[in-house]
């Protein structure tokens, strides 16, 4: 049968003009419509009131984590939730995290190191010990916020245990990618991997070292000399060292009011019943341990990274919200089972404005991968999900969910594979669901969404076993439906 003339019957015939799935895939032609799997239940109370009440009832320490390959829209949810929390904290990653948020006037802010709670003036923002901090970038970000009327004075704390990311780390990152040639990772070239490498081999420089400028030059010399011996393209000179030392003397003076023992600060805040929201960077599928290794980041953007990156106990953490797009994207290299290498993928990229906040690179696009999402839910124990960018699917006559991986011989896989050779060859079984083909961006009540949109949401809930409490239908602060 030709995919160019495929007709599928739901409640009425739907014509699909383009081939929507990768070459190695199967389609399950069933759309569940029972009360258990896909029916629409009308809410008897105001969806908004119920949602706002749910936000206020979130646990004292809650977290927002990515549940795909990043770029899910975590910053927007953190910004919305922040007004109900005293502290918003980053626990891992660095300036490779690009979180785009909008203020009440609709002005866009692109944040990379500063937590997304900064737009809420009553919120304290913490950069934890698990973050690698590029000071020039941090100060540039703070200056940009201040010039746009966002007060940062006395509202940002930086862990004295956090490691510094230097300009040379970024240069080395690029040299490493060139060295890998065809096996390149596709990093943001923000120096994240090299900075974490310095940390792990124990010659990194921490924020607290800025308080000891008598020993700082010696430590920086060791770092630069190591990079020079490792990469032929990296040229190190005594003049470079002198310039860097002078620059960081100025940085140290400016940073001093922000430097804090954030482990003590966070635990003291917990004992004083302060509400804390943890903002994850990147996402679980990029986790150094659980992601599609080696095409991953260099930290743990999953639940375990909260404890290690902030110094708080696991039992202190309550609700964890997983953020997931209504479809799937990833930037850079690596396996992507539900990727769409056709006009449908191009359409998602265009309508969804899928270009990296940090790099500007076009994102690869595909159908929502339920297998990967279930895996992320298992690892993190999400209490709820935030489904974002549902509006991007509004123009499609039908939508697909990747529900099962099969090996080349047709054997179903029972779990998400660690072996990339297996993952790159899997065949994906899809469930096909009708689209709604109307504008939903102005809807604010769940009950007012088209029936097909609600059916799509409820089918995802059933497949992964986690409720969807927040639904994004546009980029603005108010473009959110509480369910």
Q: pLDDT (tens digit, 9 = 90+) per residue, 129-151?
A: 999 999 999 999 999 999 999 99
Between CA 418 and CA 262 the distance in angstroms is 35
- Residue 421 designated active-site: no
pLDDT, tens digit, 9 for 90 and up, residues 366-400: 999 999 999 999 999 999 999 999 999 999 999 99
What is the percent of the chain where pLDDT is above 70? 86
Catalytic residue (one of 163, 169, 199, 427): 199
Residue 163 known to bind ligand: no
Between CA 49 and CA 481 the distance in angstroms is 11
First CA to last CA distance, the chain: 40
A 10 A CB-CB count for 158 gives 24
Q: What is the pLDDT of residue 294?
A: 93
Handedness of CA 87, 88, 94, 98 (dihedral sign): negative
Between CA 139 and CA 11 the distance in angstroms is 56
Q: Taking residues 254-267, what's their average pLDDT?
A: 99
Q: What is the pLDDT of residue 23?
A: 39
Higher-pLDDT residue of 24 and 242 is: 242
Residue 188 known to bind ligand: yes
Lowest mean pLDDT among 60-69, 263-272, 345-354: 345-354
Strand, coil or helix: what is 469? strand
Residue 311, judged by CB atoms within 10 A of its CB (0-12, 13-18, 19+), counts as buried
Does the pLDDT of residue 271 top 90, yes or no?
yes
Q: Taking residues 214-221, what's their average pLDDT?
A: 96
Lowest mean pLDDT among 11-20, 92-101, 180-189, 350-359: 11-20
Does the pLDDT of residue 166 top 80, yes or no?
yes
Q: What is the pLDDT of residue 237?
A: 87
Between CA 211 and CA 432 the distance in angstroms is 59
Q: What are phi and psi of 38, to 5 degrees?
A: -170, 5
- Residue 99 designated active-site: yes
Q: What is the pLDDT of residue 54?
A: 83
pLDDT, tens digit, 9 for 90 and up, residues 330-345: 988 899 999 999 999 9
Check if 163-256 and 323-482 are the same fold: no
Higher-pLDDT residue of 33 and 390 is: 390
Looking at domain 163-256, which of 3.40.1010.20, 1.10.300.10, 1.10.10.60, 1.10.630.10 is its CATH number? 1.10.300.10
- Residue 199 designated active-site: yes
CATH H superfamily, domain 323-482:
Adenylosuccinate Synthetase, subunit A, domain 3 (3.90.170.10)
Q: 154: phi > 0 → left, psi -120 to 50 → alpha, else beta; which?
A: left
Mean pLDDT value across the chain: 87
- Give the start-to-end residue ranges of the domains of the chain: 163-256, 323-482
Catalytic residue (one of 47, 79, 99, 112): 99
A 10 A CB-CB count for 329 gives 24
Indicate the helix (H) or strand (E) that contains 348: helix 343-351
Residue 297 known to bind ligand: yes
Place of tokens 């009540």: 445
Residue 107 known to bind ligand: no
Q: Taking residues 29-39, what's their average pLDDT?
A: 38
Q: Taking residues 211-240, what's their average pLDDT?
A: 88
Residue 420 known to bind ligand: no
Residue 98 known to bind ligand: yes
């Amino acid at each position: 049968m030709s995919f160019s003339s495929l007709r599928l019957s739901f409640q009425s015939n739907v014509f699909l003009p383009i081939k929507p799935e990768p070459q190695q895939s199967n389609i399950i032609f069933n759309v569940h419509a029972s009360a258990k799997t896909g029916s629409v239940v009308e809410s008897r109370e105001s969806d908004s009131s119920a949602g706002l009440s749910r936000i206020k009832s979130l646990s004292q320490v809650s977290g927002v984590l990515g549940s795909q390959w990043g770029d899910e829209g975590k910053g927007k949810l953190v910004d919305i939730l922040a007004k109900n929390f005293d502290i918003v904290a980053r626990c891992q990653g660095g300036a490779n995290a690009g979180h785009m948020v909008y203020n009440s006037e609709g002005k866009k802010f692109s944040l990379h190191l500063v937590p997304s709670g900064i737009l809420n003036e009553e919120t304290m923002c913490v950069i934890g010990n698990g973050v690698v901090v590029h000071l020039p970038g941090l100060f540039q970000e703070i200056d940009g916020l201040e010039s746009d009327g966002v007060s940062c004075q006395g509202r940002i704390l930086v862990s004295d245990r956090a490691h510094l990311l230097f300009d040379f780390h970024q240069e080395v990152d690029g040299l490493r990618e060139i060295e890998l040639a065809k096996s390149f990772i596709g990093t943001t070239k923000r120096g994240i991997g090299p900075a974490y490498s310095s940390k792990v081999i124990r010659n990194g420089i921490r924020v607290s070292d800025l308080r000891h400028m008598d020993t700082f030059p010696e430590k920086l010399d060791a770092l630069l000399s190591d990079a020079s011996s490792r990469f032929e393209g990296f040229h190190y000179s005594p003049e470079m060292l002198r310039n860097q030392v002078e620059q960081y003397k100025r940085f140290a003076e400016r940073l001093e009011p922000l430097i804090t023992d954030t482990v003590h600060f966070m635990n003291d805040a917990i004992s004083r019943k302060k509400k804390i929201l943890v903002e994850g960077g990147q996402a679980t599928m990029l986790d150094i341990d659980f992601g599609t290794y080696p095409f991953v980041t260099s930290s743990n953007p999953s639940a375990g990274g909260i404890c290690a990156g902030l110094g708080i106990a696991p039992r202190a953490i309550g609700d964890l919200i997983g953020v997931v797009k209504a479809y799937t994207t990833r930037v850079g290299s690596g396996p992507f089972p539900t990727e769409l290498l056709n006009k449908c993928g191009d359409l998602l990229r265009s309508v969804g404005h899928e270009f990296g906040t940090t790099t500007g690179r076009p994102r690869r696009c595909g159908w929502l991968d339920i297998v990967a999402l279930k895996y992320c839910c298992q690892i993190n124990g999400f209490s709820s999900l935030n489904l974002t960018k549902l509006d991007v699917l509004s123009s499609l006559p039908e939508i697909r969910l990747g529900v099962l991986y099969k090996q080349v011989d047709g054997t179903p896989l029972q779990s998400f594979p660690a072996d990339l050779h297996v993952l790159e060859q899997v065949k994906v079984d899809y469930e096909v669901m009708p689209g709604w083909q109307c504008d939903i961006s102005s809807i604010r009540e769940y009950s007012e969404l088209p029936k097909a949109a609600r059916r799509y949401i409820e089918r995802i809930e059933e497949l992964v076993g986690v409720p969807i409490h927040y639904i994004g239908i546009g980029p603005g602060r108010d473009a959110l439906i509480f369910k």
